[in-house]
């Protein structure tokens, strides 16, 4: 290697290292943002849903069971917890994708991975933090207390039962809202940046084409 080539390689190495560190910092910041938004989402989820509805323990053929009292408003509150979680996950997930897309705009594939990872962490944290503020599941205490005992309800997420009858598995579909919304926000940023770069390239190519006498490209309408 000649002296000039060695000097050129030495000049570019610090720049490459700095760019790599900057890229890793952007990816890390995206994941940390996902965790922060997940914690915020869990806190907001409980604040939106609470206080927990009241209910009592009833005697049934299957054994003691907790039901809300009054029944209809309590059941509606139970389902509203899932709906409120979905709304928060969609809104905060899109915010995660938008910010993450901007931070990792120079590393789109790695940035998308960071957004998805941040979304998974957010889904877990929002659920744990939201339910940690709620009273415990009253059904778990049904056999420990007397029939007719009043207990508050529990903040929970509805699950979809998947699989053959008799061996179904519960899947918490609302958790998917975080990574799905994050991917959508990330895609919006990537499309916007791509459109901006194409317009900038077109604007810089017009003066060059005019000065060289080459035919101009058609203008966008």
Type and span of the H or E element at 122 = helix 108-132
Hey, what's the torsion of the CAs at 211, 212, 217, 221, to 10 degrees?
10
Q: What is the average pLDDT across 5-24?
A: 62
One DSSP character per residue, 75-118 reads HHHHHHHHHHHHHHHHHHHHHHHHHHHHHTTT-HHHHHHHHHHH
Rounded CA gap, 147 and 142, in Å?
8
One DSSP character per residue, 18-39 reads HHHHHHHHHHHHHHHHHHHHHH
The upper half-sphere exposure of residue 164, i.e. CA atoms within 13 Å in the direction of its Cβ, equals 0
pLDDT tens digits, one per residue of 126-185: 999 999 999 999 999 999 999 999 999 999 999 888 878 766 778 899 999 999 999 999
Q: Which of 9-18, 66-75, 159-168 has the lowest mean pLDDT?
A: 9-18
| 3 state DSSP class of 64 | strand
Rounded CA gap, 220 and 198, in Å?
11
59 bridge partner residues: 64
For 141, which DSSP code? G
180 against 204, higher pLDDT:
180
pLDDT class for 208, splitting at 50, 70, 90? Answer: low
pLDDT score at 9: 47
For 144, which DSSP code? T
| 3 state DSSP class of 217 | coil
Rounded CA gap, 94 and 184, in Å?
7
pLDDT class for 14, splitting at 50, 70, 90? Answer: low
Q: What is the average pLDDT across 92-99?
A: 98
**Phi, psi of 135, deg, nearest 5:** -60, 155
Q: What is the average pLDDT across 96-122?
A: 95
């Amino acid at each position: 290697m000649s002296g000039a080539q060695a000097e050129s390689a030495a000049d570019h190495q610090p720049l490459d290292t700095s760019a790599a560190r900057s890229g890793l910092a952007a990816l890390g910041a995206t994941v940390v943002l996902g965790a922060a938004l997940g914690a915020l989402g869990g806190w907001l989820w409980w604040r939106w849903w609470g206080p927990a509805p009241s209910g009592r323990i009833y005697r049934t053929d299957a054994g003691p069971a907790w039901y809300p009292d009054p029944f209809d408003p309590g059941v509606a509150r139970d389902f509203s917890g899932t709906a409120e979680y979905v709304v928060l996950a969609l809104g905060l997930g899109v915010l995660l994708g938008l910010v993450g897309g901007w931070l990792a705009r120079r590393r789109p594939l790695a940035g998308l991975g960071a957004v998805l990872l941040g979304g998974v962490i957010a889904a877990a944290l929002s659920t744990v933090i939201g339910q940690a503020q709620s009273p415990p599941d009253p059904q778990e205490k049904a056999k420990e207390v007397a029939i007719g005992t009043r207990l508050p309800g529990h903040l929970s997420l509805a699950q979809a039962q998947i699989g053959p009858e008799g061996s179904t598995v519960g899947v918490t579909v609302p958790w998917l809202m975080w990574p799905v919304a994050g991917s959508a926000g990330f895609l919006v940023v990537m499309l916007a940046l791509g459109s901006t770069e194409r317009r900038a390239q077109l604007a810089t190519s017009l003066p060059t084409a005019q000065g060289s006498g080459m035919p101009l490209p058609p203008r966008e309408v």
